[in-house]
Structures are given as structure tokens and as C-alpha cells.
Structure 1
Amino acid sequence: MSDSPLKGRTVVVTGAARGTGAALAKALADRGARPALLDHDEPALRAVAATMPGAALALQVDITDATALDEAGEEIRRRLGPPSVVVADAAVAEVGPFALSDPATWRRVIEVNLIGSAHTARTFLPDLIRTAGYHLQIASLASIGAAPMMSAYCASKSGVEAFTHTLRAELAHHGVAVGIAYLSWTDTDMIRDADRNTALRELRAHMPPPARRVHPADAVAARLVHAVERRRTAVHTPAWLRLAQVGRAAIPPVVLRRTRHVLPGLEAAESLHPTGLLGAGGHADRAAAPPP
């Protein structure tokens, strides 16, 4: 699209090897942006980059490694120019009861989703200030209403929500816009893997119909690109998540009422067990992450 404000701009997307990150990176490239794709999984990342119109820079990096992320930032500036848009999408998840969770895996979810997002912002803030740019943090329905069996993921996504609000207030006078995207269930390999877990599948089945629907990644990415082009403060996909924001104080008691009737049966059937990090992205993270 020749009239897109993204044309010719350097855009960084973390978690770009698959799922929402890959779909968003492609959509940004279609708008004429110069994408820099960051992820742990180098083969998958390069496969995504090969589908882009024009040149895309693919860099393997662990976003929890601040030094490696700074080095990636230097290469992006050298090869593509300073980024004016940064999308912090990288995330991992595990399903299972907190009491049975592996502490190292639980901590890894927090490190990738929350600490990694903070490292990403810290690395590229000088560029965004220089360009009066835009930072988009990918959050979740889990930021609005925590769900059982996903304690680390919900804690991390609540954390990035608070971090984003803080960052926005600190950077507004520099002309930097900071947005947050609240996503519901999206058709990614992480969600498909989670759906193979009996407990989470049962819990999702007891959610209201709009809340349990899974949305195509391309459709989610299209909405996110629209938000990036307009430097939105917040984007909700699907749109009904705005209503969840209004009634978010009522969500915990509703969740409690529903799950207290479901979990006892799952416990009796011995269906509650930790999954480890989900999906191909989780597998790649386990293979590449440093030992705890």
C-alpha cells in the first residue's frame, strides 16, 4: 500500500518465527515496511523472512539476553536504519496447576514474556525517541481476567499491561506513542498445543461462546497493522474485549464459580498435569534457552 505511513520505515517484531508475530510481520511488509524479525528459532524465522516482499532482516536472538538484544539492535540500525516501530510479541506459555509446576519453567515464562518485553523496549527506546516512533506491546485476554492453570502466563501478561501503561506515561512528552494489544484466543501452534490439554480444553469449553472462539492469526494481524498505522493507545481483538475491560472487576468471581465445578472432576481423573512450554515456539525456547 503506497499510502501507508509504514512505507520505508524500519519495523522490529519479536516472536516473528510463527503465529501472530509471523502474520503481523508479513502484513507490515505488505504495507511497505522494512521488517526486522527477531526470534529464537532461526530456521523458522528465515522461512518467514523468505515469504516477505522485498528484503527482511532475520536475526536469531534470545530476548531475555540483554547483551544479545543490544547487538541485534546495532545490526538492525546498520542494515535497515533506526526502527520507528517496535512490536513486542514474543511469548511462551505453560498449562498446569501452579502447585505442580516446575519452578524453572514457571520462571522462564515470566522471563520471556515480561522481562524480555522490558529488554526489548530498553534496547529500542533511543530509536523510538529519535524517530518519535511507536511501541506496541502484545498483551492478552489474560491481562484482563486471569485463568486457572496458566498462572505464569497470566502473571506475565498482567505485568506487561502495567509496564505498558507506565512506559506510555514516561514517553508521551518525547512524542513516542505506546500501545497495547489485547488478544483473545488466536489460532497459533501454542494454542493448538494447549487445546490438547484436557484441563484447559474443558475450562475453555465452559467460557461464554464469544470468549472461547479461536480467531485466525491473519485476521488478528490485519487488525494490529491498522492499530500500528494509527498509533493506537489500545487495540482489542476481537472488539468485544472492550466490554471485558469495562466489567473486568466481575471476571474473577465468574471464573471462580465456573472452575470450582470443573476442576474437581479433572483432578479425580488425574487430568491436571503441567505441559511444559507449549507449541513449536516453546520447544525451540527449551532447546535454545540457557540452563537455569
Structure 2
Amino acid sequence: MNRICLKNKVIAITGSTGGLGQVLSLELAKKGALLALMDIDSEKLKLQARELSGLALEVDVTSLDSIEAAMAKANDHFGKIDIIIANAGITKMAPMISSSEKDFSQVIDINLNGPWRTFKAALPYISESSGYMAAICSMASFVHCPLQASYAASKAGLHAVCNSVRMEVKHLGIDVGSYHPTFFPSPLMDGVTSDPVGNKLWGGNKEGPWKMITIEEVVSDIISGIEERAELVVIPKRKTLVAKASGFFRRYIERRGFKGSEIQEAISLSQRS
């Protein structure tokens, strides 16, 4: 398989100052990529841009106008955009009985609508470069955990967006990839593992099907996927069968990963906080 060289490729990445965004941006910079760094945290963004010699672009992924303005600035600055990485995302844990419509909608708006807006805003420039659009999804696209309906729905939906858009833009020479890592250390996961509800569900992510992998493994596989302009990247690769046959394995995963009593205890814990 032919691999593209990332040196001097212009890469725009949302959520660039987050846990995965930081490490991924650093490794892309080491590859010689020219980075359009996009995030809502302006102070972290300015520091990151100085460290990586990138272009800092404050972006709110819940606003199409904000993303369109950032993409236009990136294209004006670099003269092109070759690769888009829709990385911004959040999570919230709560059972339906106590979760709010506002929280559910916020996760959907950032995790699902945000990447759609990112792809839409980037499309005119990616069309010119016959480039590549990548979305950071999750194994939650295939394995749907209790107390995370919003997150599971957003990541399953984002996988569907990638599959749909890929067919729309193929004639333009554009490739679209979805990336599905399992649990890995990050500020997002720090919140999960420090939460008694998360600990009850996933046992601290220390063993079994929910065991965390290193962020270095995640970033390495993402970069390899980008170099290959891959359609589907499951991280780690050994979980690919589960991802591709998720419907077949769903009952087993639910029985193996979530005991009914533990779900009830997690719901009780969530209602105490």
C-alpha cells in the first residue's frame, strides 16, 4: 500500500489542546506537517502554536460560522489544506432517569454535529487538494455502554457520517476515515476513572475488555492510518473483529462487560452526586 509523506502537508485538527489532540499534534509536527491548530481554549492554543510553530485558530465546533472562518484563515495562511482531523469531543455519564436534555444535546452537538460542521467547512479546500478527512470516533461506535447514551449515539452516528460522506466525495478524489480507539489515558478518561460511576462500570479500566492501552499506541495507529488514507482504523487492531461484527458480539460483550447488579449500583452512585 502506498503511504503518503506528511512532510509539508497542511493538517487542520480540532480539539488540538486536549489530551489526544496535544500528543497527536506533537507527533504530526515531528513528521514535518504544517499544523492549523483549532481549539476553543485560546490560552492553551497560543502556547501550543508557539511550541509547534503552528497556526492558532480559536474555534467553537458548535458554530459552523466559527469553523468556516477558521478554515478560510488556514487556507489563506498556508495556501491549501490537505488533511482534516475532527478530534474535538466530550463525554458525560448519567442514566436516562437523571440525565438532562441539555447534557444529552451538548454531547451530540460537539461529538456528532461538530465533526459534520468541520467536514462541511473544510470540503471546498479538501476538494482542491484531493485530500483526506478523518474523524476520531471510538470503540463506542460499536460497543454501547450503559449510562452513556449520548456518547454512544454520537460516536455511532459519527461513524455513519463518515461512511455516508465517503461515498459522496469519492469522485472528488477525497478519502474519509473513521478512527476507533478503545480506552486510553487522557484528561477525559481521568474524569471517568476518578468518578465512582465510571469505576463501577469499567473497574478502573485495569483489565478485561475495558483495559486501557497507551496513548502512544493510539497516536501511532492514527498517524499510520492517515499516511494510508485509511477508511477504518480500530485501535488496537486485535479488536477489529469485534468492531466489524459488533452486532453479532453485542450480547456477549454486554454479558461479559456489564453485570446487571453493577449497572444498578452505578445508577445509584450517579444519583448520589
**Same fold, judged at TM 0.5 (above):** yes
**TM-score (ref. length: structure 1):** 0.86
The aligned length equals: 269
Give the structure 2 partner of residue 12 of structure 1. Answer: 12
**TM-score (ref. length: structure 2):** 0.92
- Structure 1 gap ranges (5+): 276-292
- Which fold has the larger relative contact order, with Cα–Cα distance below 8 Å and residues 6 or more apart in sequence? 1
Separation of aligned partners in 2, 1:10 and 1:247: 35
- 1:190-201 alignment runs, 5 A limit: 190-201=188-199
Residue 87 (structure 1) aligned to one of 61, 66, 85: 85
Give the structure 2 partner of residue 236 of structure 1. Answer: 234
Shift of 1:12: 0.4
Decide whether the 8 Å contact of 1:94 with 1:274 is kept in 2.
no
Moved more, 209-218 or 22-31: 209-218
Decide whether the 8 Å contact of 1:97 with 1:274 is kept in 2.
no
* Alignment-mate amino acid for residue 164 of structure 2: T
Identity %: 24
Give the structure 1 partner of residue 210 of structure 2. Answer: 212
Give the structure 1 partner of residue 225 of structure 2. Answer: 227
Decide whether the 8 Å contact of 1:7 with 1:33 is kept in 2.
yes
Give the structure 2 partner of residue 176 of structure 1. Answer: 174
Separation of aligned partners in 1, 2:123 and 2:231: 17
Decide whether the 8 Å contact of 2:67 with 2:118 is kept in 1.
yes
Moved more, 95-104 or 135-144: 95-104
1:256-287 deviation line (CA, Å, top 9, x unaligned):
433313123344xx312498xxxxxxxxxxxx
Matched, 1:101 2:99: yes
Shift of 1:129: 1.1
Give the structure 2 partner of residue 32 of structure 1. Answer: 32
Shift of 1:10: 0.9
- Structure 2 gap ranges (5+): none
Moved more, 38-47 or 247-256: 247-256
Give the structure 2 partner of residue 119 of structure 1. Answer: 117
Shift of 1:71: 0.9
Shift of 1:216: 2.5
Separation of aligned partners in 1, 2:4 and 2:12: 17
Moved more, 218-227 or 177-186: 218-227
Separation of aligned partners in 2, 1:265 and 1:78: 53
* Alignment-mate amino acid for residue 15 of structure 2: G
